[in-house]
Amino acid sequence: MTGNKKITPLKLDEVVYQHDSILIKKICFWENCEIRDDIETGLLIVTLPGSKGLGSCKTGTFALPDGTRATEKEFNDIGYFREGLAKIFVEGKGYGYIDTNFEIVIPPKYSRAEVFQNGFAEVTIFDEVNETKKKIFLDKAGAEHDFNDRYKIICSPHDGLFRVSTEKINVGAWDDYEEYARNR
């Protein structure tokens, strides 16, 4: 919860626009909150007021389409659901994943996490002893897959396959304005 105050939305039934067969109603109001739609589940992701953090790393919860809280649980960062799982951040622990029942199914312990695509999510483990980061992949059961000893470059999976390279290569890109290359 943010502070000691539980945020509850105001229920409304207010017409905000009406013309011919078009009727738009405001059905709820979350004071000082940012709201995003989760396309996969139809839920609302609500960033609560007074949250500390940069960008999307703010305390939030989930709400039903009518504005009612879907869960009492709050997380320090909430990602969109993809393939039935959403990344969350828990202060002092790291990133993990929840299912559509808002239960943690992959424990928060990663320093960075991406959404699931084709059954895998890219995560980063920070090794505090060596002060290094290591990119690995998780499957939806939480099993870790480390390909770093075999490949120098590993891209996120597409159609169930990983693009990999045994050599460090230069990757170039072109847009309408300039050409640039970077080492990967």
Whole-number pLDDT of residue 87: 94
Whole-number pLDDT of residue 67: 82
142 pLDDT band (50/70/90 cuts)? Answer: very high
Q: In what order do the strands lie in the sheet with 120-127?
A: 112-113, 120-127, 132-139, 144-145
Where b means 16+ CB within 10 Å and e means fewer, 75-97 reads: bbbbbebbeebbbbbeeeebbbb
Please report the beta strands in 68-178, taking only residues with DSSP state E, as ranges in sequence order. Answer: 77-82, 85-90, 94-98, 104-110, 112-113, 120-127, 132-139, 144-145, 153-154, 164-165, 170-174
Whole-number pLDDT of residue 182: 43
Domains of the chain, start order: 33-183 (2.40.128)
158 pLDDT band (50/70/90 cuts)? Answer: low
| pLDDT, tens only, 26-69 | 666 677 778 888 999 999 888 887 666 545 557 889 988 888 88
Of the CA atoms within 13 Å of residue 90, those in its CB half-sphere come to 13
Whole-number pLDDT of residue 57: 57
77 backbone dihedrals φ, ψ, rounded to 5°: -155, 140
Instruction: Read off the pTM.
Output: 0.71
